[in-house]
Amino acid sequence: MKKYSAPLTAALAAALGLGTALPAAALPGTEPPPSAVRAAAAPAALRLMPLGDSITWGVGSPSGNGYRGFLWNRLSAEGHALDFVGSGRNGTMSDRDNEGHSGWRIDQITGIADSVLARYRPNVVTLEIGTNDLNGNYQVPTAPDRLRALIDRITRDAPDATVLVGTVIVSTSGTEEAHRPAFNAKLPGIVQAAQAAGKHVRLVDMSALTGADLADSLHPNDNGFRKMADAFNAGVQAADAAGWIKPPVSASRG
């Protein structure tokens, strides 16, 4: 299991919402928090945009579904009304919509954010991006700043949305691995700053994936995608329990 320093562990816990953002269990003789009652009674309806690079698209998965298929099954079993959204379609699942773009960097995703968020207006975004910046050695020192700008763009364009930010997954690429730990170490602070500004942004830790969960040097196999789905699903459930997830608003898609 990946070990973090004490300050990073505390930052990671805060960004994940551990012990801070979630409603506490009601004490005997008191009423449970309204958000907990709502989440227990009716799981939130989700218009969910899977956003990112080829990992989001599903490269490495024999079906092409990637984590999206496993995540759909978990959310559906938990009672959420579901609509995955995005301009692309890939895989064998019934709802193949997603916003995954093979080979894209953070800045390229930022370049389409305004249009796709206006078109689909998701109330949840699962964001997994940064692999191509690191593996391509593309302006790596400023990659965390680009991710911060992307998160700001998403929360500005869809202020009612919850953004679940996945850490960059393990790889066997020497180029990526040389940069990945330092990049991931910046993410808790970025997410905490967004939370402090009142934005519904939550870190999703992908460190459960190991080299055995890869189909090639960069992309998960289906066991790895299953672990990603588990992590994103836990993020959705925690956000719903905290009352973060609002009903989807009107969108301009045609």
> Tell me: the pLDDT tens digits for 224-249?
999 999 999 999 999 999 999 999 99
What does the chain come to in residues? Answer: 254
Note down the domain range covering 149. 45-220+234-241
Confidence of residue 211 (pLDDT cuts 50, 70, 90): very high
25 occurs within a structural domain: no
Q: Which of 179, 180, 172, 178 is nearest to 219 (CA)?
A: 172
11 occurs within a structural domain: no
pLDDT at 52: 98
| CA–CA distance, 152 with 61 (Å, rounded to integer) | 31
Distances (CA, A) of 40 to 33, 78, 122: 11, 10, 22
End-to-end CA distance of the chain: 45
35 occurs within a structural domain: no
Q: How many domains does the chain fold into?
A: 1
Q: Which of 252, 247, 222 is nearest to 80 (CA)?
A: 247
70 occurs within a structural domain: yes
Residue-wise pLDDT for 147-192, tens only, equals: 999 999 999 999 999 999 999 999 999 999 999 999 999 999 999 9
Task: List CB contacts of 166: < 8 A, sequence separation 6 or more.
Answer: 52, 126, 127, 128, 204, 206, 228, 231, 232
178 occurs within a structural domain: yes
**What is the domain-level CATH number for residue 93?**
3.40.50.1110
5 occurs within a structural domain: no
248 occurs within a structural domain: no
Q: Does residue 157 sit in helix, strand or coil?
A: helix
Mean pLDDT over residues 190-218, rounded?
Answer: 98
